[in-house]
């Protein structure tokens, strides 16, 4: 079999040669104009929103091509995607094998701060009607206590003193919205797709509080004129490994330098508030609702809360992947009981929502042996993830005067994880915006010298 390196690179001229098994009907595809700017062109966006958007355009057309932006200056990723004219493949891995699909919706990739002029030209284009985001919890620069922008963060300070050369999400959005207001161009809708409770409202508060530092009138205009609908997004999307390169090459007969692995399951629940229009996501399986709250709490608490629990217990106990951990009966029983007796009772779901079915489906998704979702990946950024995933649930249990021993065990596992080594003594890195402070606290709590 040809190795990926010996094959020609995936490119748009090759699309007509690709088989219909790997490409939705090419005949139905019309190259769209760019209507969406997405901040955070990571694996999750490429395996989730971009796929929904491509299918929505196939279903009902529209110029909803995507300009993807890496805010971390990842020029290698930008160049790798642009060398393929934005094309890449999604490798769905289920117990029954892999399904490879080429995605065409990504039309341009920019890397900040190198491509700042191009980004702001794109954000000023009236054809851009949605700016969506997957920048992870730490990308919001939120003050954990107030929900406003974290004014003491050096990156926020930079953007406040360099309003025309911003690098943070609040700085970029405020600069772009100011330019549209000043040019009397209708604002774009801001669509958060991150794992935060009330993610749209949370982002709106950060953006308005950032704007208010320098221009109250602009902050008031954003608050009155800009839509920030909330969403719940769900698909397990691990980091790319060599296996995806091999699967894509075998399926396509071309080399894809940036394939994305994911599970077969996907879900997207979106508050339907798009004054400037949106793709036909409703036609391809997304749920458009008035209030996403019940869905987002169920997902954040039942999936993300138990994901983090599994990750920290596994980092200490030596399980490398989620499927390895959940295969251990004691671990599976703990997670099953945590969802059943401590998390599910805090949810206020529609009558049609069967929490036992949701729970059992999650356990099956975790057991997927083909995905190899690394616990170390999920264990990252605990200081940003623990509050929305576990502390909110604990607060609800306390308010209801109900026990929460398993949830407390999860938080204790995170605190123990911060010591930097597993029970067998093997060491690992702590990847977290607050790593320095946390490791010092953990060392003093454990009476250990900090390394
Ligand atoms: C995971 C999430 O890495 C993590 O923190 O818990 O990325 C999880 O895979 C997704 O939210 C699933 O929808």
**Alpha-carbon distances of 446 from 17, 265, 382, 427, rounded to whole Å:** 61, 41, 19, 16
Burial grade of 66 (CB within 10 A; 0-12, 13-18, 19 or more): buried
Answer yes or no: are the C-beta atoms of 248 and 8 closer than 8 Å: no
Report the side by side order of strands in the sheet with 260-262. 97-103, 88-94, 260-262
Using the mean position of ligand 1's atoms as its centre, give its distance from the Cα of residue 170 in Å: 23
Residue 135 is classified by DSSP as -
Q: Say yes or no: CB of residue 236 within 6 Å of ligand 1.
A: yes
Residues 6+ positions from 37 with CB-CB distance below 8 Å: 66, 67, 69, 119, 122, 123, 128, 130, 131, 132, 188
The answer to whether the Cα torsion of 445, 416, 240, 111 is positive or negative is negative
Q: Say yes or no: CB of residue 245 within 6 Å of ligand 1.
A: no
Predicted pLDDT of residue 4: 65
* b/e burial code for range 88-125 (CB count within 10 A of at least 16 → b): bbbbbbbeeebbbbbbbbbbbbbbbeebbeebbebbeb
Burial grade of 287 (CB within 10 A; 0-12, 13-18, 19 or more): middle
CATH architecture of residue range(s) 293-445: Orthogonal Bundle (1.10)
Predicted pLDDT of residue 368: 97
Q: Which helix (H) or strand (E) holds 189?
A: strand 189-192
Predicted pLDDT of residue 352: 87
Q: Say yes or no: CB of residue 256 within 6 Å of ligand 1.
A: no
Which of 139, 193, 304 to mutate to test ligand 1, by most ligand atoms within 8 A of the CB atom?
304
Q: Say yes or no: CB of residue 304 within 6 Å of ligand 1.
A: yes
Using the mean position of ligand 1's atoms as its centre, give its distance from the Cα of residue 194 in Å: 10
Predicted pLDDT of residue 3: 63
Using the mean position of ligand 1's atoms as its centre, give its distance from the Cα of residue 232 in Å: 12
pLDDT tens digits, residue range 154-176?
999 999 999 999 999 999 999 99
Predicted pLDDT of residue 95: 87
Rounded CA-CA distance 93/164 in Å is 43
Q: pTM (2 decimals)?
A: 0.96
Predicted pLDDT of residue 451: 56
Q: Say yes or no: CB of residue 296 within 6 Å of ligand 1.
A: no
Using the mean position of ligand 1's atoms as its centre, give its distance from the Cα of residue 181 in Å: 36
Burial grade of 31 (CB within 10 A; 0-12, 13-18, 19 or more): exposed
304 Cα nearest atom in ligand 1: 6
| Boundaries of every domain in the chain | 4-289, 293-445
Which of 233, 262, 378 to mutate to test ligand 1, by most ligand atoms within 8 A of the CB atom?
378
Answer yes or no: are the C-beta atoms of 363 and 236 closer than 8 Å: no
77-80 LR contacts (CB < 8 Å, sep 24+): 77/41, 77/109, 77/111, 77/258, 78/109, 78/110, 78/111, 78/115, 80/257, 80/258
Q: How many CB atoms lie within 10 A of CB 445?
A: 12
Using the mean position of ligand 1's atoms as its centre, give its distance from the Cα of residue 304 in Å: 6
Domain 4-289: assigned CATH number: 3.40.50.720
**DSSP assignments along 53-117, one per residue:** HHHHHHHH--S-EEEEEETT--HHHHHHHHTTTT-EEEEEEETTEEEEEEE--EEEEEETTTTHH
Q: Say yes or no: CB of residue 47 within 6 Å of ligand 1.
A: no
Using the mean position of ligand 1's atoms as its centre, give its distance from the Cα of residue 47 in Å: 13
For the chain, which ranges sit under pLDDT 50?
A: 1
Which residue puts its alpha carbon closest to atom 1 of ligand 1?
378
Q: What angle do CA 268, 269, 274 make, to 5 degrees?
A: 110
């Amino acid at each position: 079999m040809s190795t990926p390196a010996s094959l020609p690179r995936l490119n748009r001229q090759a699309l007509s040669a690709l088989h219909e098994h790997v490409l939705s009907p090419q005949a139905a595809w019309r190259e769209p104009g760019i209507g969406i700017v997405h901040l955070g062109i990571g694996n999750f966006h490429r395996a989730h929103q971009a796929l929904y958007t491509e299918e929505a355009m196939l279903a009902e057309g529209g110029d909803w091509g995507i300009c993807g932006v890496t805010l971390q200056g990842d020029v290698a990723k930008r160049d790798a995607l642009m060398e393929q004219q934005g094309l890449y493949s999604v490798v769905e891995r289920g117990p029954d094998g892999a399904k490879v699909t080429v995605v065409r919706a990504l039309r341009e990739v920019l890397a900040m701060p190198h491509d700042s002029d191009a980004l702001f030209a794109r954000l000023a284009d009236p054809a851009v009607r949605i700016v969506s985001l997957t920048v992870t919890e730490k990308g919001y620069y939120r003050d954990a206590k107030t929900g406003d922008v974290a004014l003491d963060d050096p990156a926020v300070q930079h953007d406040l003193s360099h309003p025309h050369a911003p690098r943070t999400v609040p700085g970029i959005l405020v600069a772009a919205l100011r330019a549209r207001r000043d040019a009397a161009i209708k604002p774009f809708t801001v669509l958060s797709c991150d794992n935060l409770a009330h993610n749209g409202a949370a982002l709106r508060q950060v953006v308005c509080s950032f704007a208010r530092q320098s221009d109250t009138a602009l902050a008031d205009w954003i608050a009155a004129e800009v839509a920030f609908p909330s969403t719940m997004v769900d698909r397990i999307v691990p980091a790319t490994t060599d296996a995806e390169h091999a699967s894509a090459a075998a399926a396509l007969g071309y080399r894809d330098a940036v394939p994305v692995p994911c599970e077969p399951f996907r879900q997207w629940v979106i508050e339907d508030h798009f004054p400037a229009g949106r793709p036909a996501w409703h036609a391809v399986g997304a749920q458009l609702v008035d209030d996403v709250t019940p869905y987002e709490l169920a997902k954040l608490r039942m999936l993300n809360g138990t994901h983090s629990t599994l990750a920290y217990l596994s980092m200490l106990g030596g399980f490398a992947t989620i499927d390895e951990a959940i295969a251990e009966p004691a671990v599976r029983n703990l997670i099953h009981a945590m969802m059943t007796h401590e998390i599910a009772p805090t949810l206020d779901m529609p009558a049609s929502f069967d929490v036992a079915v949701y729970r059992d489906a999650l356990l099956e998704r975790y057991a997927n042996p083909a995905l190899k979702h690394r616990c170390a990946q999920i264990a990252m950024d605990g200081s940003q993830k623990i509050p929305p995933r576990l502390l909110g649930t604990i607060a609800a249990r306390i308010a209801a005067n109900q026990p929460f021993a398993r949830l407390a065990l999860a938080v204790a596992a995170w605190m123990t994880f911060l010591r930097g080594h597993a029970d067998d003594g093997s060491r690992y890195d702590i990847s977290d915006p607050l790593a320095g402070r946390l490791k010092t606290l953990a060392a003093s709590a454990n009476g250990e010298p900090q390394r």
